[in-house]
Amino acid sequence: MAKETARPDVAGGRLTPAQYAANFADIHPPLARKAALVEANRCYFCHDAPCLEACPTGIDIPGFIKAVATDNVEGAALKILDANIFGGACARVCPTEVLCEGVCVREAQEGRPIQIGRLQRYATDDLFAKANGHPFTRAPRTGKRVAIVGGGPAGLACAHRLAMLGHDAVVFEAKPRLGGLNEYGVAEYKVAGHFARAEVEFILAIGGIQPFTNMALGRDISLVVLRREFDAVFLAIGLAGVNALTCEGEDLAGVHDAVQYIARLRQATDFAALAVGRRIVVIGGGNTAIDIAVQTKRLGAEDVTIVYRRGAEAMGATRHEQELAQTNGVKIKHWARPRRLVGREGHVSEAEFEYTRLDAGRLVGTGETLTLAADMVFKAIGQVFVADPLRENGKELLELESGRIKVDAERKTSLDRVWAGGDCTGGGEDLTVRAVEDGKRAASAIDRALRG
């Protein structure tokens, strides 16, 4: 991360403690019982429910909503968690408007889908709050040991399913805490408080999962050794690199990688200690761009502008996320790409963009420029897979495809006894719910392989 300077426009403590608390509180407060019952009773319990088809983890949505409607909240939670052990986090971070709620029959009929995400949260929160032990049991131990590299949703979903099936899972996580993006990468107001940590504890409570943190592949452990010492390996190492802007001024102080700043924010014990500029420019068009823009605004920045090189429809952020940014006072400028960052005394002071347009389907610059004053610039232009830990003597140990690990439908890699899932593999959107499904599928495939 670029170093901070003593510039007066980049400072912490812009707001009162009460304002910080309000700005970073849960964005979707949980449904109360009465509201949940009313919402659940709006459901048609469709026979060929399109919502179920749209859920990557195949949660029995009409089934759990029916359980909520009959006040069987624990039964609802168990249906959810059986399909998706991260049902609590997914209820908070899933882009439901483009998944289950986007295809809900009620959405097509009246433009008001069943609030599936909020009902899912109602049920899972209730189960966590009661803290009545872990609801799933382990099958008799098989004596097989599986190494899981990466303690995010894919890795922990795989570990949990393997533990249920009677295997022992050893999880190696490079960061100090488990949880992956739920712990380090999601906007604080989406997974507020310490929910991500509580959920990890809940998952580990099944037993048979041994976590080791601060253990990075390629530094503290190697794939060659893991394959030798374990019966199987599951790689869920995510995307460790970030794209570069490759424009002049990228190394100036005040130019930050959005992912790193969000991680810092999520680990902060005091939001007032986080230095934030008055004028923020965010470069990018995905959910990370929205997350950093909204959070810096909520930290007290006066002026926050997202600049994206194409139109609104091409942004990786959903329409709902774009609206969230705008209702938080964030400006979004389309059709402009970064040309250079200008500094004063070594610190960024302006960001210069060139307007763009499409020419026969190709993005080209128009030659016209736009300059925005900025005392902080955030790069949110995507993360990339880093293959270095998977190389031995300069050669990749397993096959890659489009820059990520190549896997088949069972999440098996080209290397014997090695599976992979989550963002480090290609073939789908980088969503928590997809990562969970990858972990689940890989665990089933590993189980079949280990039982011969």
Give the interface with ligand SF4 as residue ranges (CB under 6 A).
43-46, 49-51, 61-62, 65, 104-106, 114, 116
Nearer to ligand SF4 by C-beta: 116 or 405?
Answer: 116
Given the complex with ligand SF4, which of 76 and 157 has the nearer CB atom? 76
Contact 144, 116 (CB under 8 A): no
10 with 376: CB under 8 angstroms?
A: yes
Token couple for 191: 């997974």
Beta-bridge mates of residue 232 = 146
Q: How far is the CB of 124 from ligand SF4 (least distance, A)?
A: 17
* Closest distance of CB 433 from ligand SF4, Å: 16
Residue-by-residue DSSP string for 177-239: SS-THHHHTS-TTTS-TTHHHHHHHHHHTTS-EEEE-S--BTTTB-HHHHHHHSSEEEE----
User: Shortest approach of ligand SF4 to residue 444 CB, angstroms?
Assistant: 26
CB of 157 to ligand SF4, least distance (A): 23
Spatial distance between the Cα atoms of 255 and 223, rounded to a whole number of angstroms = 35
Nearer residue to ligand SF4 within complex by CB, 50 or 365: 50
Between 31 and 116, name the residue whose CB sits nearer to ligand SF4: 116
- Give 76 or 390: the residue with its C-beta nearer to ligand SF4: 76
Instruction: Tell me whether residue 44 or residue 212 sits nearer to ligand SF4 (CB atom).
Output: 44
Residue 234: beta bridge partners?
148, 419
CB of 94 to ligand SF4, least distance (A): 14
Please, are residues 410 and 374 in contact by the beta-carbon 8 Å criterion?
no
* Cα–Cα distance measured from residue 413 to residue 418, given in angstroms and rounded to the nearest whole number: 6
Least distance in angstroms from the C-beta of 77 to ligand SF4: 17
